[in-house]
Amino acid sequence: MRLMFVVGAVVCLATACTATPAAAPAANSKPGTSSAPSATPTRHASATTTPKPKPKPKPVPHVTMHQVRTADGAKVTVAVFHGPVRYALHTGSADPALSAALVTASPAVGGTERKQLLAAFNGGFKLSVGAGGYEQEGHVISPLLTGYASLIIDRSGRARIAAWGYGAPARGEAVYSVRQNLQLLVKHGQPTAAAADWYAWGATLGGGEYVARSALGEDASDDLLYAGSMSASPEDLAQALADHGARIGMELDINPEWVQLDVASRPGGPLTAKVPGQHRPADQYLLGWSRDFITVLGG
């Protein structure tokens, strides 16, 4: 019996020593108030939202410049007009010499158009040569000829190149201005067979093959490309256009006095002459010019 009492005492002592003391009431507890923690509010999972994709930046009107060298080392400048741009065909003061009462795009660029001007380049041959027809702002000055390479500008300012009468004008197309010049220089992305026959592309100063020439193309993105050089053959320009993505193209004016490309870094900015060796200053189309030309407008 004694042994059992001792064991029991030890057990009781051990139990007393290891028992957890009762928690003391919180210091700020009021009498009769439970100190148990309040129930945690139920959290509701927030709805997962997929972030909206960032809007694509709006295309900015701009010109990219390229230079290639021909087999004989001459330079050909290629300008590609990108972005939301518009085109306008201007009369020259001497050719076709349309009156201000008839058309608004006069021999000089000014006013609102100057603030939007991104680039300007020469038109085609003199109308008296018979290299094609001419229509400006709905007025047909020289009859448009079937099969001739044509720069077609609609009322919105959009421009394209086509052989007149072969899908041009398209049904419902609001043709506003047309500048024709000879036959196609580029077709289906390749120089035409006729491009190799330089005699077929106009009388040159001095009767040589390699003279100042210019051309215009259109790529698969519907952007226009201008090619110009102070010494090139028709085939040189055709190849330069095709190499830079033109699927169709036409020759513009030739000989040193007429080949001209002026470009600004932004619409309304200062113009820079871009064909090395061109005879006319960069502001020639601002001052006024004797021959027709095309402006590229942004903004």
Residue 20 lies in a domain: no
- Calculated CA dihedral for residues 268, 221, 276, 71, nearest 10 degrees: 180
Q: Is residue 166 part of a domain?
A: yes
* 28 in any annotated domain: no
Question: Has residue 40 been placed in a domain?
Answer: no
Amino acid at 252: L
Contact yes or no for 266/127 (Cβ under 8 A) = no
Q: Is residue 268 in a domain?
A: yes
| Mean local confidence (pLDDT), 6-20 | 36
CA-based R_g, the chain, Å: 39
H or E element at residue 255: none
pLDDT of residue 52: 79
> Residue 39 in 3-state DSSP?
coil
**Strand, coil or helix: what is 108?**
coil
pLDDT tens per residue across span 236-270: 999 999 999 999 999 999 999 999 999 999 999 99
Domain tally, the chain: 1
Query: What gap in Å lies between CA 236 and CA 226, rounded to an integer?
Result: 13
Site of tokens 């601002």: 286
pLDDT for residue 11 is more than 90: no
Residue with tokens 């072969």: 166
How many other β-carbons are positioned within 10 Å of the β-carbon of residue 282? Answer: 18
Neighbouring C-beta atoms of residue 237, cutoff 10 Å:
31
Whether 49 is in a domain gets the answer no
d(CA 248, CA 225): 10
Q: Say if residues 88 and 290 touch (Cβ distance below 8 Å).
A: no
Q: What is residue 56's predicted lDDT score, i.e. its pLDDT?
A: 80
Task: Give CA separation, 220 vs 63, 174, 188, 224, 298, in Å.
Answer: 17, 21, 10, 10, 20
Question: What range defines the domain where residue 99 resides?
Answer: 65-298
pLDDT of 48 higher than 70: no
Report the side by side order of strands in the sheet with 134-136.
139-142, 134-136, 175-180, 149-154, 159-163
Cα separation, 228 vs 25, in Å, equals 96
Q: Is residue 36 in some structural domain?
A: no
Under 8 Å CB-to-CB from 90, ≥6 apart: which residues?
A: 105, 106, 107, 109, 285, 292, 293, 294, 295
Provide the token pair at 252.
């513009």
Judge whether 153 and 89 are in contact, CB under 8 Å. Answer: yes
Q: Looking at residue 18, what is its pLDDT?
A: 41
**Looking at residues 95-124, what average pLDDT do you find?**
96
In terms of Cα–Cα distance, which of 68, 64, 63 is closest to 241? Answer: 68
Assess whether pLDDT exceeds 50 at residue 35.
no
- The proportion of the chain whose per-residue pLDDT surpasses 90, expressed as a percent, equals 77
CA separation for the pair 188, 267 (Å, rounded): 32
Q: How confident is the model at residue 30 (pLDDT cuts 50, 70, 90)?
A: very low
In a domain, 143, yes or no: yes
CA distance 204 to 195: 15
* Distance (Å, whole) CA 281 – CA 292: 16
CB-CB neighbours of 238 under 10 Å: 29
pLDDT digits (tens, 9 = 90+) for 132-191: 999 999 999 999 999 999 999 999 999 999 999 999 999 999 999 999 999 999 999 999
